[in-house]
Structure 1
């Protein structure tokens, strides 16, 4: 069980094929701030039918895309 499980569940329940969440939104949903470990944990998202498309540092957001 990872610290991002709440975020993965939120993403799994999302009806959009592609969407963006800000770092602040991720913090509110997951209950923990986004940190460098996210790069390691993001692989878990594949089990929920999504992937991390891009991490946009300038916008401080992450783009998620549904796996086809």
Structure 2
């Protein structure tokens, strides 16, 4: 089980084609702080029907897209 499992489940249930979450929203949903390991763990997301789009450090957002 991934440390971001709660986030992946939430995203898969969202159902939107494309959406953005702030780093704070991701931390709240996942129940853990977002850190550099997110870049490794994001490879698990396609199993849930989504992929990570753009990660904006300036805006502190991550975009997600249905695949």
Aligned residues: 67
Tell me the residue number matched to 2:54. 54
CA deviations on 1:9-51 (whole Å, 9 max, x unpaired) are 0000012100000000000000001100000000000100000
Task: Describe the SS at the equivalent of 2:41.
Answer: helix
Give TM-score scaled by structure 2 length.
Answer: 0.98
Tell me the residue number matched to 2:24. 24
**Runs ≥4 residues deviating over 3 A:** none
In structure 2, list runs of 5 or more residues that go unmatched: none
In structure 1, list runs of 5 or more residues that go unmatched: none
Give TM-score scaled by structure 1 length.
Answer: 0.96
> Is the aligned partner of 1:8 residue 2:8?
yes
